[in-house]
Amino acid sequence: MRSQVIIIGGGPSGLLLSQLLNRAGIATVVLERQSRDHVLGRIRAGVLEHGTAQLLRQAGVGARMDAEGHPHDGCYLAHDQQMVRVDFTESCGRQVMVYGQTEVTRDLYDAQDAMGATHIHGVRDVVLHDLLTDAPFVTYEKDGRQHRIDGDFIAGCDGFHGVSRASIPAESRREYEKIYPFGWLGVLSRTPPLMEELVYANHPRGFALASMRNDTLSRYYIQVPLSHRVEDWSDDAFWTELRARLPDSVAGRLVTGPSIEKSIAPLRSFVSEPMRWGRLFLCGDAAHIVPPTGAKGLNLAASDVGYLFEGLVAHYGGDGEALEHYSDRALRRVWKAMRFSWSVTTMMHRFPDHGPYEQRMQQAELDLLASSAAARQAFAENYTGLAF
């Protein structure tokens, strides 16, 4: 089998890249380890930057997002009893779109089906070959048989645990990592959201976030020690703890109900450089992980895909240099989103080694946001997404 671009991984990065390339007349094949139902069963974040929403429209998958998604003009940052609202529209003229990653993935699969794109699920033992030549190829096993696909390029969209990043020799990679000493316990519930906008809360008992998917589906998180197990958290215990961490002025509004999904995710910042190795290009979680506090994971995947798509279209249009700058361009944006995610994480969480000094720093940062339009503008620009 032969294709122009072989895409490893059928998560949001791989699907969006495939969709954009197919519409531009560039042939792709997507190799995914899991079944489609498994991919669609993952509950992930739900805030789309302005540029991500634009790219989805460009890919022809914006219709349901525009009909069912919720544009948000701002969010709240709470500190104990104080609530600071950052008005995105007033501060930087942009909004974000609240629309779940699961829905984005579903829309991409539907659009890919409609155009007859090639997706192969249930692949095993994917190996990338001859990446430093003009004729890379991929081998894999499916249903007990070995297969080979030849291509011009390989896009490594296979997430943090994928095979693509590991195909770059260790001595040619530089990794940067920060592990945070806590995780997020998340609950999805069929209940109306706490507020119309997201509330990020810094409380002496720990961080909490009140988010949503739509008018009847809410997503909540609380910071927990890494030693905690999800089985130890009953729904009641979760709601009690969440309520305790929200300002009194809004805690009374919380509507509780049975959890539909409950899980604990550790927080990590990670970048692997470069994002290109010969004919292999990494996109999304394969190259970097951000803590979820800034809502940047999916959005960084989208900007990587946007850069790679542009580069590939220019390459096939005859520009031999077009792909040379992919890694540098993508990494410049990645590091700025890393900085934002790290700074919001640091401002909003309780760290086991933080003392009174660090708490005062957090207070001062939140006070600055409350009192300075310039500080709110910087937050809003980063949250709604830097240009790409």
Interface residues toward ligand APR, by CB under 6 A: 8-14, 31-34, 39, 44-45, 101, 123, 126, 157-159, 161-163, 284-286, 297-298, 301
Instruction: Report, in Å, the least distance between residue 120 CB and ligand APR.
Output: 9
Catalytic option among 292, 315, 326, 349: 292
Residue 359: which residues within 8 A CB-CB, separation 6 or more?
none
* Binding partner selected for residue 111 from ligand APR, ligand PHB, none, CB under the kind-specific 5 to 8 Å limit: none
> Does residue 262 carry a catalytic annotation?
no
Where does 204-352 show beta strands of DSSP type E? 208-214, 217-224, 259-273, 276-277, 280-282, 288-289
47 binds, among ligand PHB, ligand APR, none (CB under 5 to 8 A by kind): ligand PHB
* Count of CA atoms in the C-beta half-sphere (13 A) of 10: 26
Q: Quick one: which of 265, 222, 226 has its CA closest to 244?
A: 222
Which residue stretch of 20-28, 43-51, 267-275, 369-377 sits at the interface with ligand PHB (rule: CB under 6 A)?
43-51
Assess 27 for contact with ligand PHB (CB under 6 A).
Answer: no
CA distance 132 to 274: 14
**For residues 18 and 61, what is the distance between their CA atoms, to the nearest angstrom?**
12
Toward ligand PHB, which CB reaches closer, 45 or 250?
A: 45
- Choice between 131 and 254, CB closer to ligand APR: 131
State how far the Cα of 204 lies from the Cα of 201, in Å rounded to an integer: 10
Give the integer Cα–Cα distance in Å for 94 and 49.
Answer: 9
Q: Which of 50, 70, 72, 262 is catalytic?
A: 72
Touching ligand PHB, residues 212-251 (CB under 6 A): 219
Phi, psi of 362 (to 5 degrees): -60, -45
Within residues 191-210, the interface with ligand PHB by CB under 6 A covers 198
Q: Which is nearer to ligand PHB, 140 or 379 (CB)?
A: 379
Going from the C-alpha of 72 to that of each of 4, 87, 343, 380, the distances in angstroms are 39, 9, 22, 12
Task: Report the DSSP beta bridge partners of residue 199.
Answer: 76, 210
> Using only C-alpha atoms, what is the Rg of the chain?
21
Q: Which residues pair with 186 in a beta bridge?
A: 221, 263
Binds 49: which of ligand PHB, ligand APR, none (CB < 5-8 Å by kind):
none
In angstroms, give the least distance from the CB of 101 to ligand APR.
6
Partner whose binding site includes residue 32, from ligand PHB, ligand APR, none (CB under 5 to 8 Å by kind):
ligand APR
Catalytic one of 109, 140, 200, 220: 200
**For residues 292-321, which are near ligand PHB according to CB under 6 A?**
292-293, 295
Which H/E stretch holds residue 126? strand 124-129
Residue 123: name its binding partner from ligand APR, ligand PHB, none (Cβ under 5 to 8 Å by kind): ligand APR
- Residue whose pair of structure tokens reads 């008992």 in the numeric block: 205
Q: Is the dihedral of CA 311, 312, 314, 315 positive or negative?
A: positive
Q: Which stretch binds ligand PHB (CB under 6 A): 139-147, 252-260, 290-298, 322-330?
A: 290-298
Binding site residues, ligand PHB, CB under 6 A: 45-47, 198, 211, 219, 292-293, 295
Residues with catalytic roles? 72, 200, 292, 296, 383
